[in-house]
Structure formats: C-alpha cells, structure tokens
Structure 1
Amino acid sequence: MNTQQKDSMWLDEHHQVSMDELIELSGLSIKELQNLLESGVLVPNNKEEAIWHFNSHYLVSIHTLSRLKQDFELEPNAFALTLVFLERIRTLEFELRGLAQVKN
C-alpha cells in the first residue's frame, strides 16, 4: 500500500491495517511502534492472533504523531501521551460532527 492508497483509504472502525502496513505508512520506526504497543495506547484488534491488525483510524493519528516528531523533534517519551491526545481529539471531532448533523 502506497501513500496515495493511504490517502484515499476510508478510515473507520470497520477497516483494518496490518502491523506491516502500519509500519510502512506511519513514518515511525518498528521500535517506536513497539513502545506504543507496550504502553497500551496502540491496541491491536486481535491480540491473541499471530498477525495483528489495527483499526485504520490509527493511521491518521500515528501519521500526525510522526509529523510532530519530525517538525518539533518530539521525544519518544512523549509519543504515548501525544497519541492519547490525538485519539481523544479525533473522537471529539467525530462526536461534534455527529451532533452537527443531528442539529441540521
């Protein structure tokens, strides 16, 4: 999967990406992703299976985390907390869009 495919992918709770796709598209190293897994902020849908898959919405947050890392020289110690905040912002934006649609 290339960057154009990632940009056009419909990212929601129903689509999944493999660990390999996450590594390829995230902009983070394997070690950095493993640290996010170990900290519990990145959670696979199928922990018990040999090949993990993740909700595709993680791509957006993790890609943003990668940009923050590059642009602001974000320290690896801050990755987990930053990802938590990015995911919370994404959730709140989704809820706000839903409320706006109900209102209209």
Structure 2
Amino acid sequence: MATEASDWTWLDPLRRIDQAELAHMCSMSVTELDELVEYGALVPVVAEPRNRQFSASCVPPLREASRLRAHYDLDLFTISLLLGYLQRIAQLEQQLRSLNAHIPHPPTLPREGPTPWREPHA
C-alpha cells in the first residue's frame, strides 16, 4: 500500500495547514471548524478570519474525533470536549516517552520461573 504525501507531511508539528485543507483532511466542513474554533477546541496559528492556519499537530486528534463523531453520532460541542481530551492524552503520552528515555534500564531483566538445573562440581 503506497503512502501518499498528504498522509505523512502533516506529522510535522511546525507545518501550517490552512482551514480548507484541514477540513478536507479531517472530513469536516469549514463551518464546523469555525464552530470548533469558537468553542476553543481548535486554536489557529494565524487567526485571520479569511486565512486561518492551524498547526499540523491538530490533525491526528481531529481525525480521531471526526471518526468517533461519525460512529457515535455526536454533536460538535461534544466533539470539542473530546478533542481537548485527545490532545491532552497525546501530550501526556509524549511526556511519558520523554521521561522513560531518561530512566536507566537494568542491563538484564530478572529471570522468572525456576532456576536451571546444574550438575554439582566435585
């Protein structure tokens, strides 16, 4: 299965996405995104009403929220709450990965189960 450029380029959090592209990528309309901005669930990087741009880091949680909206028939206010929680979970997972990278791991893990049988030496 070939990966399209649009599937991996939004992973860069420094990349900016305009509102129409974000709506297309997340299967939402521009008016729905406007409503999410009004609720405070989405914060544009460039806040001009005609040229709103968002960070690409909002794409994965917004896609997940859009998928859950379609599956459970949720309204946009509920999606705004859900989107906040999904973004918080992603942030906490990143912090956990960062902290785990600084913890020294033991060179060998303790062996579980019975010890191996050894012939006594004389």
Question: TM-score, normalised on structure 2?
Answer: 0.74
Residue 65 (structure 1) aligns with: 65
**1:38-86 deviation digits (Å, cap 9, x = unpaired):** 1112111122475221110111011001100111112222011011101
Moved over 3 A (4+): none
1:87 aligns with 2:73: no
Separation (CA, whole Å) in 2 of partners of 1:53 and 1:29: 15
**Structure 1 residue aligned with 2:77:** 77
> Which residue of structure 1 aligns with residue 99 of structure 2?
99
Tell me which structure has the larger Cα radius of gyration.
Answer: 2
Partner of 2:37: 37
Unaligned runs of 5+ in 1: none
Structure 1 length as normaliser, TM-score? 0.85
Counterpart CA distance in 2 for 1:39 and 1:95 is 26
Across the aligned residues of Structure 1 and Structure 2, the Cα RMSD in angstroms comes to 1.9
Gaps of 5+ in 2: 105-122
Percent identity over the alignment is 31
Deviation at residue 88 of structure 1 after TM alignment:
0.4
Q: Which has the higher helix share?
A: 1
Q: Alpha-carbon deviations, 1:8-57, whole Å to 9, x = none? A: 22524312111121011011122221110111121111224752211101
